[in-house]
Chain A
Amino acid sequence: MEKDNILTIQHLKKSFGQHEVLKDIDLQVQRGEVMTIIGSSGSGKSTLLRCLNLLDDATAGEILYNGQNILDPNFNRIQYRAKVGMVFQQFNLFNNLNALENCVVAQTTVLKKNPAEAEKNALAQLEKVGMGPYVKAKPAQLSGGQKQRVAIARTLAMSPDMILFDEPTSALDPEMVDGILDIMKDLAHTGLTMILVTHEMGFARDISDHVVFMDQGVIAEQGSAEQIFSSPKNPRTQEFLQRYLKRL
């Protein structure tokens, strides 16, 4: 069976000075799948995501997006970034703009949509994440959970092919986490490609098609959610999951 890969990562390496954070990563992401990356702190999960949307430049290797190497100097990064969304742990909303404007600004500048159309789309996305009533609020006037919803709407407004989530609920109070997870679950059902770094193991187990366990800069184990969570083979995966189970 021919696989439809949206991303193919080959021999990816990333060093900060002498410190090699990603060591020879090989990974394939299928179109429409929900992939979760788990692993202990410092194992390189965020760095991998940042390399995937070119916030950090990989030191070596290839990242093929629909067959094109995104690390090629002639590759159109702007277009690629517009198609690949990113949701951050710290929300990173634009503080000078209200919720609506946050969702409009990249549509008009990057996608060159006309303002009326962009605004209509932005409103629709804000509705979708339950932020319809707050379109006029500035980030400083919103709670953490509300900010993250706006940030998700901002990404969705670009009609992305794929969204990268880097611990989207880690900075939230526990009672707000579920709301965000519900939104992501809904998104997963729409067939969007999602790569998610999270410490919410239960949630990862529920929604993931594909789970990757990272350890010290390498992919120690990967497989279906069922396989990784129920019968992990690698002792380090077992150890890692044990720690989480104990905590629960």
Chain B
Amino acid sequence: MYLKQKRSWLSIIGLLFAVFVIAAGTFHSSQAQAAKKSKKVFLVGMEANYPPFNWTQQDASNGAVPIQGSNLYANGYDVQVSKRIAKRLGRPVEVAKTEWDGLLPALTSGKIDAIIAGMTPTPEREKTIDFTRAYYNSKQIIVVNKNSKYAKAKTLKDFKGAKLTGQLSTVQYDLIKQIKGAIREPAMRDFSSMRVALQSNTIDGYVAELPEGYSMAVADPNATYINLSGKGGFVLDKTESQEAIGLRKNDPNKATINSVLSKLPNSEQSRLMQQAVKEQPQTSSQGNWFIDIWQQYGGMLLRGIGMTLLLAIVGTAVGFIIGLLIGIVRTIPAPKKRLQRYLINFVNWLLSVYIEVFRGTPMIVQAAVFYYGAAQAFGINLDRTTSALIIVSINTGAYLAEIIRGGIISIDQGQFEAATALGMTHFQQMNKIVLPQAVRNSIPAVTNEFIVNIKDTSVLSIISVSELFFTGSTIAGQNFQFFHTYLTISLIYLIMTFTITRIFRLIEKKLNGPKNYDLMTNDFQIATPKIAGK
């Protein structure tokens, strides 16, 4: 009667596992279907977070283009150019929203067809990819605060002592070296970060291109920019202030694309850019900023939360199963037969390599290697979400394996001996006696992993998974309300982690069972026991 409620642990775990396999399977097949349908899509990589070149918006207005794998849209100068090219190629166009650092690997690994992202053709980059002719001729500027002493600067000399930065791995960041006496702060990942840094006065300015100056001046009334392309300004090759389209080496479409671009004279470029500046997302803050953010971006935030939760839940659950299986294997007593012993030793060795590697390297690196590296080296093309799920799972598995092994070996030897003496096999002992205790003891650590996963999946933005943090930076890139947006995001993180801590407390309580037991008086109690129990 008490037993019927109790299912075997392994069967529950098996069930969980099956659910995830099926879920992952259907998920994957729907992705595969989408991929098949859009086989001929011209997929353009850009940050979609660098107005007026490119930005993210929530509808298709002003001729925006869908962002792959989401129901968001991209628009901006780059998008308009992309559309012209796609039209000429006779293919529908979509945008792959990709972090700046992810653009080159995404192109070389075949995840995208072209980079149209305001990228300058540097010799460095030309080593790995090809560039078309320029599609925009730009000017170099420094964005500063209006009320700062640099607002009146005219030449590079005036920036002596200024704390300056630029985007990581850009020409602009290198240009800071030309300013004598300026302090070159560490490079930043994206423009959102630089804008926040400028608003909070942690930097005095950042080097960018003219369109960013237009944008910033529109978006932030306290900002202005200094044009430094003339005399006393930056010295650079003509190509260094041009933007071109990045293609894989020997792309057969290069000639066609060049011919499209040749019909884009400076005047037309300028017209397109002006239009982009006009159409780029504007701050629309009237009334309460918190309500504004939710009204405007509620859907995006919810999807971001959903993705973060999906990654954390699946990652922790699958990681837990991996950890359990490894824990069981790693505690198998040494077999008598020599061959079996060698085999077990070998498997144990492999497992410890797995654990060391995944615990010993940052998840952000694992994600980049797995997602871009696998495609580049072996031509394996997994979609982002699947890759992210796999990375989080095996990463969590590596941590939990050791925790569960600790839980298993901490159970006193006597219980193993008693179970052995009753004739139970290693797996029966594990299933009925050892794992329930090890699992119970590992719950605090699993809770911890879960919370870490909720927060640390933010590093998966490197492979452009739109989890909550990535969503946050997209929103901040649109509304320029960095402080408020990130405050909202942190609040959401806090609520999620707090809720999960509470839920796991409840699970823990449930597993501990009742604090007190009832004395039983049942049918079997024929006579009062001869020796009264104490």
Q: Is the CB–CB distance between A85 and B421 below 8 Å?
A: yes
A197 CB to closest chain B CB (Å) equals 15
| Closest Cβ neighbor of B433 among chain A residues | A94
Q: Is the CB–CB distance between B422 and A130 below 8 Å?
A: no
Report the Cα distance A123→B529, complex, angstroms.
13
Instruction: Classify the interface of chain B: helix, strand, loop or mixed.
Output: loop
Q: Is the CB–CB distance between A138 and B517 below 8 Å?
A: yes
Q: Does A149 contact B (CB under 8 A)?
A: yes
A119-B1, A123-B524, A136-B520 given; A131·B529 CB < 8 A = yes
Name B311-362 residues within 8 Å CB distance of A.
336
Q: Is the CB–CB distance between A133 and B519 below 8 Å?
A: yes
A123 CB to closest chain B CB (Å) equals 4
Q: Is the CB–CB distance between A133 and B533 below 8 Å?
A: yes
Stretch at the interface among A76-84, A214-222, A234-242: A76-84
Q: Does A146 contact B (CB under 8 A)?
A: yes
Residue from A78, A80, A110, A133 within 8 A of B525 (CB atoms): A133
Stretch at the interface among B145-153, B424-432, B459-467, B470-478: B424-432
Stretch at the interface among B157-165, B364-372, B410-418: B410-418
Interface centre among A84, A86, A109, A143 (most CB of B within 10 A): A109
Q: Is the CB–CB distance between A104 and B418 below 8 Å?
A: no
Q: Is the CB–CB distance between A123 and B522 below 8 Å?
A: yes
Report the Cα distance A104→B521, complex, angstroms.
19
A7 CB to closest chain B CB (Å) equals 16
Q: Does B513 contact A (CB under 8 A)?
A: yes
Report the Cα distance A134→B432, complex, angstroms.
21
Q: Mark A104-125, 1 if CB is under 8 A from B, else 0.
A: 1110011000010001100110
A93-B418, A98-B517 given; A132·B529 CB < 8 A = yes
Report the Cα distance A244→B422, complex, angstroms.
34
Residue from B4, B422, B517 within 8 A of A158 (CB atoms): B422
Report the Cα distance A82→B423, complex, angstroms.
5
Q: Does A135 contact B (CB under 8 A)?
A: yes
A86-B421, A92-B418 given; A131·B533 CB < 8 A = yes
Q: Is the CB–CB distance between B437 and A132 below 8 Å?
A: no
When distances are taken between beta carbons in the complex, the residues of chain B under 8 Å from A91 are 414
Q: Is the CB–CB distance between A136 and B2 below 8 Å?
A: yes
| Closest Cβ neighbor of B439 among chain A residues | A96
Q: Is the CB–CB distance between B421 and A78 below 8 Å?
A: no
A82-B422, A130-B530 given; A88·B521 CB < 8 A = no
Stretch at the interface among A21-29, A176-184, A204-212: A176-184
When distances are taken between beta carbons in the complex, the residues of chain B under 8 Å from A6 are none
Report the Cα distance A143→B533, complex, angstroms.
9
Name B63-102 residues within 8 Å CB distance of A.
none
When distances are taken between beta carbons in the complex, the residues of chain B under 8 Å from A115 are 3-4
Number of residues of chain B lying within 8 A (CB) of chain A: 42
A92-B414, A127-B524, A149-B533 given; A141·B422 CB < 8 A = no
Residue from B336, B421, B521, B533 within 8 A of A53 (CB atoms): B421
When distances are taken between beta carbons in the complex, the residues of chain A under 8 Å from B417 are 55, 88, 92
Residue from B412, B436, B513, B520 within 8 A of A135 (CB atoms): B520
Name B3-29 residues within 8 Å CB distance of A.
3-4, 6
Q: Is the CB–CB distance between A109 and B428 below 8 Å?
A: yes
Q: Is the CB–CB distance between A143 and B534 below 8 Å?
A: yes
Residue from A92, A100, A143 within 8 A of B2 (CB atoms): A100
Report the Cα distance A125→B361, complex, angstroms.
55
| Closest Cβ neighbor of B532 among chain A residues | A130
Residue from A81, A119, A133, A135 within 8 A of B423 (CB atoms): A81
Name A141-184 residues within 8 Å CB distance of B.
141, 143, 145-146, 149, 151, 154-155, 158, 176, 178-179, 182-183
| Closest Cβ neighbor of B428 among chain A residues | A109
Q: Is the CB–CB distance between B2 and A101 below 8 Å?
A: yes
B1 CB to closest chain A CB (Å) equals 7
Residue from A55, A78, A145 within 8 A of B534 (CB atoms): A145
Q: Is the CB–CB distance between B533 and A130 below 8 Å?
A: yes
Q: Is the CB–CB distance between B518 and A130 below 8 Å?
A: no
Residue from B3, B422, B531 within 8 A of A101 (CB atoms): B3
B407 CB to closest chain A CB (Å) equals 12
Q: Does A190 contact B (CB under 8 A)?
A: no
Report the Cα distance A73→B2, complex, angstroms.
39
Q: Does A60 contact B (CB under 8 A)?
A: no
B27 CB to closest chain A CB (Å) equals 35
Report the Cα distance A73→B336, complex, angstroms.
10
A92-B417, A105-B432, A154-B422 given; A132·B522 CB < 8 A = yes
Q: Which residues of B contact A (CB under 8 A)?
A: 1-4, 6, 336, 411-412, 414-415, 417-425, 428, 432-433, 436-437, 440, 513, 516-522, 524-526, 529-534
> What would be 15 A-B contacts, judged by CB atoms less than 8 Å apart?
A55-B417, A77-B423, A78-B425, A80-B423, A86-B421, A95-B411, A100-B2, A101-B3, A127-B525, A129-B529, A130-B529, A130-B532, A138-B513, A143-B533, A143-B534
The 5 closest A-B pairs by CB, nearest first: A130-B529, A82-B423, A92-B414, A92-B418, A106-B422
A82-B423, A127-B524 given; 19 more Cβ-contact pairs under 8 Å = A55-B417, A77-B423, A78-B425, A84-B421, A90-B414, A95-B415, A95-B437, A96-B440, A100-B2, A106-B422, A119-B1, A119-B2, A127-B525, A127-B526, A132-B525, A134-B517, A138-B517, A145-B533, A151-B418
